[in-house]
């Protein structure tokens, strides 16, 4: 309390003091016949000198950070992917150009402010335009930027439109608040279809197989029954509203499921059986070095973004659509550790689009290893159908309810 009073007192007194000082200095100016707002030569000189200092401040900023961070290896290490190397070259070229521009142009600004400061009896030089000069600094940047544009586009097209050679590995990255799940296509090299209405506690990705459809219909049927039951028991108004909403959503989900059931009569939905799902709890997924990896990204809830900066890979994951990014890793985790002399180094996948409270901790390790190591690792993982508990037999009455629901 005393502290607060003291603080307020000191603030008020110092404000009063500054006000008095200003008032007195204005008065002195007036008595001396000067206008208090007019910039004196002395003031102008001091500020001009500080402008000159800005030239050195600008250079200092650039070189200090360049030496400490860029040269010091505190930034991202060299790209660990094929296209990443091209991007790094483009990046070096672009940064060189903008660094030169920064180091040359800023000093002109601040130096001119210093050099041409107000002088007694000084007079500016009336210089309103000069077509030749203006042409120079239109055409020179135009040439530089156009070169950069075409160079950049060349790399961009290479990243996204070049045909990948060799046997492509398809990996699905599935984002949800706040974790990643990876899925491999298995021996058929096809990812099984998935639907968000199929998501359940033992089918986190909503993979569609004939078995999971039946199981999900049974589960949702149970849930629906429970909601109906709760609604019958006269819940309080808030709860009632919530339950009604839940009933609505479950009805919609059941419609989608019954559609899938109908489809399954014509379509085998067999691609998903041998898929390999790496759950978030594992915390890492593996890819082989030197082989193109096609990432297919999906999201369960909000927009996430799969950011793998070491490979110069970045793509949003939006609910309702599948985005892709293909890249070829060129350095294994082990090699990178040796290169950086860091035993605990790991390539990381992390979220780079605001997605909620734990957005800052949504990551998964990416282990790059040789083809043999990778194949060994993959062969140790269970396929989707093998990982699920033996299918529960569906109770008769539930099956009946779901059959009724399916006709909704």
Partner 1 sequence: MATTITTPTDVLEHSAHAASAHHHREPFITKYIFSQDHKMIAKQFLVTSIFWAFVALIMSIIFRLQLAWPGQGFVITEMLMGKWGPDGVLDPNAYLSLVTMHGTIMVFFVLTAGLTGTYANLLIPLQLGVRDMVNPFMNMLSYWFFFASSVVMFISLFVESGPAAAGWTIYPPLSALPEAIPGSGLGMTLWLVSMALFIISSLLGGLNYVATVINCRTKGMKMTRMPLTIWCFMTAAILGILSFPVLFAAALLLIFDRSFGTAFFLSDIYINGMALEHTGGSPVLFQHLFWFLGHPEVYIVLLPALGIASEIISTMSRKPIFGYRAMVASMFAIAGLSFIVWGHHMFVTGMDPFLGSVFTFTTLLIAIPSAIKAFNYITTLWKGNIVLSPGMLFAIGIVSLFISGGLTGIILGDSALDITVHHTYFVTAHFHLVMGIATLFGIIAGVYHWFPKLYGRMMNNQLGYVHFWITMVCAYAVFWPMHYLGLAGVPRRYYSNTAFPMFDNLQDLNVIITVAAIIGGLAQLIFLYNFIYSIFWGPKAPQNPWRGTTLEWTAPVEHIHGNWPGEIPEVHRWPYDYSIEGEKEDFIPQNVPLREHELKEAAKHH
- Is the Cβ–Cβ distance between 151 and 93 less than 8 Å? yes
Considering only residues 197 to 216 of the shown chain, the ones binding partner 1 according to CB under 8 A are 197, 199, 206
Segment 379 to 408, residues that bind partner 1, using CB under 8 A? none
Is 358 a binding residue for partner 1 by CB under 8 A? The answer is yes
Please report whether residue 42 would count as binding partner 1 according to CB under 8 A: no
Residue of 243, 313, 336, 364 that binds partner 1 (CB under 8 A): 313
Q: Does 56 bind partner 1 (CB under 8 A)?
A: no
- Closer Cβ to partner 1, 9 or 153, answer by number: 153
The tokens describing 307, both together, are 């950011």
Range 291-310, binding partner 1 (CB under 8 A): 300-303, 305, 307, 309-310
- Residue 327 and residue 173: Cα distance in Å, rounded? 14
Residue from 117, 225, 247, 388 in contact with partner 1 (CB under 8 A): 117
Smallest gap, in angstroms, from Cβ of residue 55 to partner 1? 11
Is residue 18 a contact point for partner 1 (CB under 8 A)? yes
184: Cβ contacts below 8 Å, ≥ 6 apart? 169, 170, 171, 172, 275, 276, 278, 378, 381
Any contact of residue 318 with partner 1 (CB under 8 A)? yes
159 lies in the site for partner 1, by CB under 8 A? yes
Written as one string, the DSSP assignment of 182-193 is: EEE-TTTT-PPP
**Considering only 259-267, 360-368, 374-382, 393-401, which stretch makes contact with partner 1 by CB under 8 A?**
360-368
List 168, 196, 222, 337, residue binding partner 1 (CB under 8 A): 196
Token pair recorded at residue 374: 């990778």
> Applying CB under 8 A, what is the total number of residues that bind partner 1?
123
Please measure the distance between the N-terminal and C-terminal CA atoms of the chain and give it in whole angstroms. 68
User: How many Cα atoms sit within 13 Å of 355 on the Cβ side?
Assistant: 28
Q: What angle do CA 326, 313, 378 make, to 5 degrees?
A: 60
Contact pick of 122, 166, 237, 390 for partner 1 (by CB under 8 A): 122
Omega before residue 185 within 30° of 0, cis: no
Residue from 270, 272, 264 nearest 184 by CA: 272
Spell out, one character per residue from 234 to 273, where the chain touches partner 1: x when CB under 8 A holds, - when not.
------------x-xx--xx--x-----------------
* Per CB under 8 A, 97 contacts partner 1: yes
Identity of the residue, 242 or 371, whose beta carbon is nearer to partner 1 in the bound complex: 242
CB of 9 to partner 1, least distance (A): 17
- What phi, psi does 306 have (nearest 5°)? -85, 110
Q: Measuring CA to CA, which residue among 406, 403, 405 is closest to residue 395?
A: 403
Does 15 engage in binding with partner 1 (CB under 8 A)? Answer: yes
Which lies closer to partner 1 via its Cβ, residue 77 or residue 373? 77
Q: Is 132 in the site for partner 1 (CB under 8 A)?
A: no
Please check whether residue 297 is in contact with residue 325, taking contact to mean a CB–CB distance below 8 angstroms.
yes
Report d(CA 9, CA 240) in Å as an integer.
57
Residue 16 lies near partner 1 (rule: CB under 8 A): no
> What does residue 76 show for φ and ψ, rounded to 5 degrees?
-60, 135
């Amino acid at each position: 309390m005393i502290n607060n009073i003291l603080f307020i007192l000191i603030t008020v007194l110092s404000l009063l003091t500054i006000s008095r000082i200003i008032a007195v200095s204005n008065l002195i100016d007036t008595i001396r016949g000067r206008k208090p707002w007019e910039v004196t030569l002395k003031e102008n000189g001091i500020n001009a000198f500080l402008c000159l200092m800005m030239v050195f401040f600008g250079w200092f900023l650039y070189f200090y950070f360049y030496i400490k961070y860029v040269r010091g290896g505190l930034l991202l290490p060299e790209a660990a992917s094929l296209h990443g190397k091209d991007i790094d070259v483009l990046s070096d070229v672009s940064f060189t150009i903008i660094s030169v521009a920064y180091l040359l142009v800023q000093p002109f600004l601040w130096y001119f402010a210093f050099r041409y400061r107000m002088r007694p009896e000084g007079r500016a030089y009336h210089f309103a335009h000069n077509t030749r000069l203006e042409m120079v600094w239109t055409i020179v940047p135009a040439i530089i930027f156009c070169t950069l544009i075409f160079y950049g586009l060349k790399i961009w097209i290479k990243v996204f439109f070049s045909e990948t050679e060799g046997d492509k590995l398809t990996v699905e990255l599935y984002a949800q608040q706040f974790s990643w799940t990876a899925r491999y296509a298995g021996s058929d090299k096809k990812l099984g279809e998935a639907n968000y209405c199929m998501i359940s506690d033992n089918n986190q990705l909503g993979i569609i197989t004939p078995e999971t459809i039946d199981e999900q219909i049974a589960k949702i049927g149970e849930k629906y029954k429970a909601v109906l039951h709760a609604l019958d028991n006269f819940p309080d108004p808030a709860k009632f509203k919530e339950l009604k909403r839940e009933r609505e959503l479950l009805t919609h989900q059941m419609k989608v499921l019954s559609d899938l059931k109908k489809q399954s009569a014509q379509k085998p939905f067999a691609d998903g059986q041998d898929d390999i799902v790496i759950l978030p709890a594992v915390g890492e997924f593996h890819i082989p070095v030197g082989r193109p990896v096609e990432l297919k990204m999906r999201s369960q809830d909000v927009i996430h973004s799969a950011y793998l900066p070491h490979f110069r890979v970045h793509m949003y994951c939006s609910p309702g659509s599948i985005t892709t990014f293909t890249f070829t890793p060129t350095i294994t985790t082990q090699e990178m550790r040796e290169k950086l002399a860091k035993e605990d180094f790991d390539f990381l996948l992390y979220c780079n689009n605001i997605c909620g409270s734990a957005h800052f901790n949504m990551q998964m390790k990416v282990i790059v290893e040789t083809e043999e190591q990778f194949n060994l690792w993959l062969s140790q993982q269970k396929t989707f159908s093998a990982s699920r508990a033996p299918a529960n037999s569906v109770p008769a009455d539930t099956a009946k309810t779901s059959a009724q629901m399916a006709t909704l």
